[in-house]
A and B are shown apart, each in its own frame.
Chain A
Amino acid sequence: MAGELSVQPSAPTEGKGPTPTAGPPGNPSRTKELADKILDHFPAVKIDYVRAKRVKVTASPEAIKEVAVFVRDELGFDHIGTVAGTDYIQQNEMEVVYFVGSVSRPGQEDLQVCLAERVKRDALVVPSLVDVWLGADYHERETYEMLGITFQGHPDLRRLLLPEDWNDIPPLRKDYTSPGR
Chain B
Amino acid sequence: MSTQFEYSPDADRIMSVSLGPQHPGAGHFRIRLWLDGDYVVRADPDPGYVHRGEEKMAEYRNYIQNVPHLERPVILDSSGILFPYAIAVDELMGNKIPPRAEYLRVIMAELNRIISHMYFLAIFGLFSGHTTMITWLMGDRDLFIDLAARIGGARVTFAYLIPGGVRNDMPQGLDEQAFDTFDWFEKRMVEYEKIFFRNPLFTQRAEGVGVLAKEDAIRLGATGTVLRASGVKHDIRKAEPYSAYPDFDFDVPSLNAGDCWSRGYVALQEMRESLKILRQAFKNMPPGPVRLKLGPQPRVPAGEVYTRTEAAHGEESYFVVSDGTPRPYRLKIGTGSFKNMRVLPHLLKGIHISDIPLVYWGLNYWPVHADK
Contacts and interface: CB of A to CB of B under 8 A. Distances in A.
B303 A23 contact: yes
B342 interface: yes
Interface in B210-254: 218-222, 227, 232, 234, 239-241
Given A18-B303, A161-B47, A3 B289 contact: yes
Interface string A162-179: 110000000110001010
B350 interface: no
A135 B234 contact: no
Contacts of A146: 55
A134 B94 contact: no
Contacts of B295: 9
A72 B94 CA distance: 32
Contacts of A181: 60
A15 B321 CA distance: 14
A48 B169 CA distance: 40
B324 A99 contact: no
A2 interface: yes
Contacts of A5: 98, 289, 292-293
B341 interface: yes
Contact of B221 (A3, A53, A136): A136
Interface string B247-271: 0000000000000000000000000
Contacts of A157: none
Contact of B306 (A9, A16, A54, A134): A54
A22 B306 contact: no
Contacts of A176: 56
A97 B319 contact: yes
Given A9-B295, A82-B319, A161-B48, A138 B338 contact: yes
Nearest to A82: B334
Nearest to B97: A5
Interface in A15-68: 15-24, 53-54
A81 B317 CA distance: 8
B317 A82 contact: yes
Nearest to B321: A18
Contact of A24 (B164, B218, B305): B305
A123 interface: no
A20 B304 contact: yes
Contacts of B93: 7, 10, 22
A103 interface: yes
Contacts of A10: 93, 299-301
Nearest to B235: A109
B219 A134 contact: yes
Contacts of A71: none
B287 interface: yes
B332 interface: yes
A10 B292 CA distance: 14
Contacts of A126: none
Nearest to B60: A181
A149 interface: no
Interface string B293-311: 1110011111111101000
A137 interface: yes
A133 B216 CA distance: 11
Contacts of B319: 82, 84, 97, 99
Contacts of A92: none
A154 to B, nearest CB: 13
B105 interface: no
Contacts of A159: 48
Contact of B53 (A7, A134, A171): A171
B100 interface: yes
B332 A84 contact: yes
Contact of B47 (A3, A14, A160): A160
B95 interface: yes
B51 A12 contact: no
B289 A2 contact: yes
Contact of A103 (B94, B218, B294): B218
Contact of B100 (A2, A16, A54, A109): A2
Given A133-B221, A135-B219, 8 more contacts: A7-B294, A21-B301, A53-B240, A104-B218, A110-B239, A134-B342, A138-B341, A160-B48
Interface of B: 47-48, 51, 53, 55-57, 60, 91-95, 98, 100, 164, 168-169, 218-222, 227, 232, 234, 239-241, 287-295, 298-306, 308, 315, 317, 319, 321-325, 329-330, 332, 334, 338-339, 341-342, 371-372
18 contacts: A3-B288, A4-B292, A7-B95, A7-B164, A14-B325, A16-B324, A23-B305, A24-B305, A81-B339, A84-B319, A109-B234, A133-B219, A135-B219, A135-B339, A142-B338, A163-B48, A176-B56, A178-B56
Q: Which 4 A-B pairs have the closest CB atoms?
A: A135-B221, A22-B303, A13-B324, A82-B334
